[in-house]
């Protein structure tokens, strides 16, 4: 006996609704995990602080030593980790959709290399030493490289492969320039050595205030492009058939990636693997819909970054391992597993 008319459509709508409810519940669970990691980031360090005193230091400070540590050292560090982690995750997810490459990361288009090259140039040739200068130079370098990648990649006729190749070539060139400047300028080398590893240790509220507007604008812009990115991920011909404006979408997404990676790199240095691992893992949870991937990446990427920062504080107590080192150690094996799984899937 055949199903009544409309029964299949009702089942499909019900399945979609259940899927949406499951994803929403998963996102709430991810937020709960993030809250726990945030508390750990504020409470754990060379001197552990009980959770009750953390609450007191945040909302009822009386100027004790613990309150000063919480407000002046760990709170800015945690806030910066939250913002930069979310920025790297969103940028990585957008990059993977834009290039249709699930193993892409924010450095693929040369944005991180452009920011680093601009900062080392500013230090060596213009004597820039403050975060104010780093942010603007990093953003300028990221913007220039993004424009060059888009131009070299073919402008209006740009394709994901062309953009990736142009980004790879410019990244190699800029890394060579950065290394050359560091080797010929000891001052630049000393200042860049700590920054280039990737660290949250030097964070303060001034740094948070400087980068927050850029990260907010970049994040909102990326989220606004979620629907057209769904079309882009299906291929150029299909995207055009669905009415997507490919050129506008690519330009807007590149602007978002530039803001997110430029400001994040200026604040913490180039931190690797966060923008690669988290979006790839999230895609296995949510499916290919960018409207879910981007929020999940914005929540789970800070979990990874702050979690790595906490691990770095434990690993070599009373000293610290910088967060960029920890993410590299964690990310290397994961990246190998992802590549091997992808190769096995292609056999």
Domains of the chain: 18-346 (1.10.3470.10)
Q: What are the pLDDT digits (tens) for 174-215? A: 989 988 888 887 777 776 776 777 888 888 898 899 899 999
Helix axes of 290-315 and 75-99: crossing angle, nearest 10 degrees: 140
pLDDT tier for residue 157 given thresholds of 50, 70 and 90 = low
Q: Does position 265 have pLDDT exceeding 90, yes or no?
A: no
70 class by beta-carbon count within 10 Å (0-12 exposed, 13-18 middle, 19+ buried): buried
Q: What are the pLDDT digits (tens) for 17-61? A: 666 788 999 999 999 999 999 999 999 887 888 888 888 788 877
pLDDT tier for residue 302 given thresholds of 50, 70 and 90 = very high
Q: Tell me the C-alpha to C-alpha distance, in Å, between residue 208 and each of 130, 180, 201, 202, 266.
A: 13, 31, 13, 11, 11
- Which of 196, 204, 200 is CA-nearest to residue 306? 200
Q: What are the pLDDT digits (tens) for 121-135? A: 988 888 887 777 788
| Over residues 243-260, mean pLDDT | 88
Cα torsion 44, 70, 191, 327 to 10°: value is 30
- pLDDT at 181 (0 to 100): 86
- pLDDT at 163 (0 to 100): 75
Tokens of 235: 């291929």
- Which of 159, 167, 150, 294 is CA-nearest to residue 222? 294
Q: What are the pLDDT digits (tens) for 267-300? A: 888 888 899 889 988 998 998 899 999 999 999 9
**How far, in Å, CA of 327 to CA of 106, rounded?**
15
């Amino acid at each position: 006996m055949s199903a009544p008319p409309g029964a299949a459509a009702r089942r499909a709508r019900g399945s979609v609704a259940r899927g949406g409810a499951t994803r929403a519940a998963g996102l709430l669970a991810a937020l709960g995990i993030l809250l726990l990691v945030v508390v750990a980031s504020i409470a754990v360090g060379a001197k552990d602080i009980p959770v009750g005193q953390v609450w007191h230091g945040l909302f009822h400070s009386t100027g004790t030593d613990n309150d000063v540590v919480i407000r002046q050292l760990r709170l800015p560090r945690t806030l910066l980790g939250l913002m930069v982690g979310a920025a790297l995750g969103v940028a990585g997810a957008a990059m993977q959709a834009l290039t249709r490459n699930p193993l892409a990361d924010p450095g693929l288009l040369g944005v991180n290399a452009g920011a680093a090259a601009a900062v080392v140039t500013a230090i060596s040739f213009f004597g820039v030493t403050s975060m104010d200068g780093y942010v603007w130079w990093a953003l300028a370098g990221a913007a220039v490289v993004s424009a060059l990648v888009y131009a070299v990649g073919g402008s209006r006729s740009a394709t994901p492969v062309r953009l990736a190749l142009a980004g790879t070539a410019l990244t190699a060139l800029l890394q060579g320039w950065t290394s050359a400047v560091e080797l010929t300028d000891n001052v630049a080398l000393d200042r860049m050595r700590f920054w280039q590893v990737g660290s949250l240790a030097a964070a303060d509220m001034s740094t948070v205030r400087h980068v927050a507007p850029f990260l907010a604008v970049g994040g909102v812009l990326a989220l606004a492009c979620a629907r057209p990115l769904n079309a882009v991920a299906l291929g150029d011909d299909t995207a055009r058939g669905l009415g997507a404006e490919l050129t506008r979408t690519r330009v807007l997404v590149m602007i978002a990636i530039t803001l997110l990676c430029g400001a994040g790199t200026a604040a913490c240095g180039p931190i690797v693997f966060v923008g690669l691992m988290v979006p790839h893992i999230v895609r296995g949870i949510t499916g290919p819909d960018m409207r879910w991937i981007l929020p999940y990446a914005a929540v789970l990427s800070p979990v990874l970054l702050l979690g790595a920062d906490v691990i770095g504080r434990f690993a070599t107590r009373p000293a610290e391992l910088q967060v960029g080192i920890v993410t590299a150690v964690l990310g290397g094996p994961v990246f190998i597993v992802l590549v091997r799984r992808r190769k096995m899937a292609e056999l």
